[in-house]
Chains A and B, each alone.
Chain A
Amino acid sequence: MAEIVYAAGAPHAPGLIGLLEAAPPDVKDVVAHTYRSLAEAMASAKADVLIVFANDHLANSRVRAYPDFLIGMAAEHRGPYEWFKPWIGCEDYTVKGAPDVAAALFDGMTRRGVRMFAQSENLKFDDNISVPVLLTNVAGSGIPMVPVLQNCTVPPIPDQRRCYEVGQALGDFIRHDLPADMRVALLGSGGLSHEPGGARYYFIDEAFDRWFLDLVASGDHETLLNELTLEKMEAAGSGGTAELLAWIVVLGAIGPKPGKSFGYTVHKDFKCGVGGVLWDMSPNMPKSRAAA
């Protein structure tokens, strides 16, 4: 039975790269601590493959033909896509793909009643994949990656319960369809509160972000699924905050487990709240902080 050895959620705001140098020291400290911790944990996990769920941001498909989940099957993933380079301000990168795992994922999710789409050509990556790949050193580590770009913003949007179900199917696929000795890392890329393209572009909902980080780190998935509605996420930043649904897919795959965050920070120029969570994947952990 393959094993999930790493599970994390982290934002991918483009300012975390292009605008980081000009940020205040206390903001930089939280960003550095968060992504360094996630990178070190990923390296320690010695995973054979990393599957990343992230908001597609309307980067790959037209609004009238918009997939809820799009798997990148390429043998090599290159980014960022040309138009996003000056906006992110990052270097070009290449990450090894895992076409066999990607194909198995497509087949396995289809068999489990989850319609995904898959593409062998290089997907167009913006900050969604580029930021975590660079800040957690995926590009340098050599770990093969399967990106899954997700509809978090084109109505109708798969809500928190559907994304959790997709995550449960993902967990079942990993445990039963992948090679028995395979070690799998999962990353949900997106959030925290932000409203890209909206009238409140600079709005960051600090109270929501702190509530969310505490809740996902607690392992209380029942409360999370009851309260993290699309309406609540839209109120915390329309068209952006709902990309936390990528975290929900990861949580569905791992089930209730406690996690830890590495601080929280807000910076106006990032236009996004920043904080990440690493869930404890060691065996025999209590299902929630309350049960510990």
Chain B
Amino acid sequence: MGLEKFNPSLATHDLIQDLKWSPELREAFAADEAAVLDRYPLRQDERRAIETRNFLALYDMGLHPYLGGQFARLIFGNEAGKGATVAVNKLVESLQGKGSVA
């Protein structure tokens, strides 16, 4: 699974970039995820994949894998050797066939 499915128009890319670049948005995402998702023109299946932490589905829609890795860290943890390791393992679990890892 590489870059062959990459779809630059997927709105999730903007969501991830904004979360990375804005501590305030990260706080809002943690407090009320649905309200933050409402701000982005997500497809129905795209939003559902985010809500169920289904990275495999997001990648099939065209999410860039590098941003997918960062999205996992935004959700599961970003600290070296701790949350970031959990994030990597959850992501791999999803991509290797499990789909939803909510």
Contact = CB atoms under 8 A, between A and B. Distances in A.
B79 A199 contact: no
Interface in B70-91: 70, 72-73, 78-81, 84-85, 88, 91
A201 B92 contact: yes
A196 B84 contact: no
Interface stretch (A12-20, A163-171, A181-189, A217-225): A12-20
B93 to A, nearest CB: 10
A82 B23 contact: yes
Given A199-B96, A201-B92, A153 B66 contact: yes
A196 B23 contact: no
Interface string B1-28: 1110010110001100100110100000
A18 B64 CA distance: 25
Contacts of B95: 198-199
Interface stretch (A85-93, A134-142, A256-264, A282-290): A85-93
Interface residues of B, number: 32
Q: Secondary structure at chain A's binding surface: helix, strand, loop or mixed?
A: loop
Contacts of A83: 20-21, 23, 78
A9 to B, nearest CB: 21
A-B pairs with lowest CB-CB distance, top 10: A197-B69, A18-B80, A238-B2, A197-B65, A199-B95, A89-B80, A86-B79, A63-B8, A197-B68, A239-B65
13 contacts: A18-B80, A58-B64, A62-B17, A82-B23, A86-B79, A153-B3, A155-B6, A197-B67, A197-B91, A198-B1, A199-B95, A239-B3, A240-B66
Given A86-B78, A86-B79, A154-B8, 19 more contacts: A15-B80, A58-B70, A62-B17, A63-B8, A63-B13, A86-B80, A86-B84, A87-B78, A155-B3, A196-B65, A197-B65, A197-B67, A197-B70, A198-B69, A198-B95, A199-B1, A201-B69, A238-B65, A239-B2
